[in-house]
Structure 1
């Protein structure tokens, strides 16, 4: 399907993700009416899209609106492959899991954050036909955006970019020059480097999902134990145990092979390279 539609340039489409918190400590409608809460929620959605769509490109958030009791997030897709990856993530439950993970961390709720979701393209409820990927893509493609991106979303994007980019280049150079040899930087902040712990491995396995192979191949560029068929062998060996165990065994093998060189900085760098900054923030316990 993707190859067929890619021939018809340009491909665009629109879908609206409706969200309702089932956690008493976090009402999304109330949260979004607060300026700080609005930014936190936007960051949760942005990180979720990065996780589920495979990066920063191929889509953009156009608007967030009140659809009581839901909060609606209108997303424009400009790449059918990205749209397809998002749909597959949504169908598998990975989108809901990613929202819960990022919201639980950024909102600092006292209990597990759960969310009810619905995905629509125009009048079509895509949840009813997620097993028919081609139909979902067709309905999203037929639902063309009716508006440009809201100015409010522009401001939130700029605020997020400022947070990610940090200080001007001249100041960033100064920070790097002052970093001790036993430390590393992430998002222009200095962290103490150390060997990976069991808690790090568990956090990684809980949050990485289907991207564990991508991270493994990135680590494998400097780790012989993860080269060639090692990652495929892990996937086959622990297929029955699921994604958590596959990811857990990946890092365990990395630690076993690298010993004292299996440092936190190497994992964080691999997560950055794989566009999994949200998971890196979670492992480093970075608060908003």
Structure 2
């Protein structure tokens, strides 16, 4: 039944893959913590996932974290077929073979290291039900990610893309935008975390459109998913539009933390056709 939802592009889920090498001289967690080793270990993870899930589409890495003695890899799936193939590769032991082979090659080891893996979706340990793939799929589907991709992962992904430029260069215009910036109205802006001043400027000007902006932000922020925006409208109805808009942005920033970036607000305003307000937020002076 879960497979049918993917036909309409609505199937998503999340799982955490725990990895470690059983070779005494090869510690994946220590390598990842090392600034020079981080990129290599990330590449090991990327190619292992690509081989296991049948390509690079249908999923993305959200975060890699310390789960001592394991290295935890949080993966969001956007396609049930990719998730099923990943689970089949994991269940058969093929994923562990890929991990061992790629670790040997990319870390320049003398032989393939034995590895240990664990897989969880929410509170469920999927290793205990691998003989029932539909059950595993259901657990993954019910485990929805709460945050966007970690900034460190964004940086590593971009580093991988830059490595590929030697074979397939990107257009010059795209590569001209620095990693921690974004482009709007043909100008480059620092992609910083939203400030109190940004929220006040937005709340003063957005008017009744705040709900539309909130729903747009809610596409990538669980704290603003339906019916959260309508609930805010009812709760602060007597306080006026400014307070409703302010509380919506406050909830967004509280939920997203450092990921509540200026670029996300500007993109939401663009999607809502509120270009003048987006210009105001980034400080572009109104046209004469």
Scaled by the length of structure 1, the TM-score of the pair is: 0.57
Following superposition of structure 1 onto structure 2, how do residues 168-183 of structure 1 map, counting pairs within 5 Å? 169=169
Find the aligned partners of 2:40 and 2:146 in 1 and give their Cα distance.
26
Per the alignment, residue 161 of structure 2 pairs with 161
Find the aligned partners of 1:140 and 1:3 in 2 and give their Cα distance.
13
**Larger of the two Rg values belongs to structure:** 2
1:85: Cα distance to partner? Answer: 0.6
Which structure 2 residue ranges, 5 or more long, are not aligned? 171-288
1:169: Cα distance to partner? Answer: 4.6
1:121: Cα distance to partner? Answer: 0.1
Give the number of equivalent residue pairs: 171
1:131 to 2:131 alignment: yes
1:83: Cα distance to partner? Answer: 0.4
- Residues 51-100 of structure 1: CA distance to partner in whole angstroms, max 9, x if unpaired? 11111110000000001111100000000011001001111111100000
1:20: Cα distance to partner? Answer: 1.4
1:4 to 2:7 alignment: no
- Residues 158-183 of structure 1: CA distance to partner in whole angstroms, max 9, x if unpaired? 1111112226759xxxxxxxxxxxxx
Seen in structure 2, the aligned counterparts of structure 1 residues 124 and 168 have a Cα distance that, compared at 3 Å, is closer
Task: Give 3-state SS (helix, strand or coil) of 2:86's partner.
Answer: helix
Task: Give 3-state SS (helix, strand or coil) of 1:56's partner.
Answer: coil
Higher relative contact order (CA 8 A, sep 6+): 1
Task: Give 3-state SS (helix, strand or coil) of 1:65's partner.
Answer: strand
Per the alignment, residue 58 of structure 2 pairs with 58
Which structure 1 residue ranges, 5 or more long, are not aligned? 171-288
1:29: Cα distance to partner? Answer: 1.5
1:19 to 2:19 alignment: yes
Find the aligned partners of 2:152 and 2:78 in 1 and give their Cα distance.
21
Superposed CA RMSD in Å reads 1.9
1:6: Cα distance to partner? Answer: 2.5
User: Which deviates more, 23-32 or 74-83?
Assistant: 23-32
Is contact 1:25–1:110 with CA below 8 Å preserved after alignment?
Answer: no
Find the aligned partners of 1:3 and 1:142 in 2 and give their Cα distance.
14
- Residues 95-122 of structure 1: CA distance to partner in whole angstroms, max 9, x if unpaired? 1000000000111123331110000000
Find the aligned partners of 1:168 and 1:124 in 2 and give their Cα distance.
41
Following superposition of structure 1 onto structure 2, how do residues 24-173 of structure 1 map, counting pairs within 5 Å? 24-166=24-166, 169=169
Is contact 1:19–1:118 with CA below 8 Å preserved after alignment?
Answer: yes
Instruction: Could you list the structure 1 runs, at least 4 aligned residues long, displaced by more than 6 angstroms after superposition.
Output: none
Find the aligned partners of 1:140 and 1:157 in 2 and give their Cα distance.
24
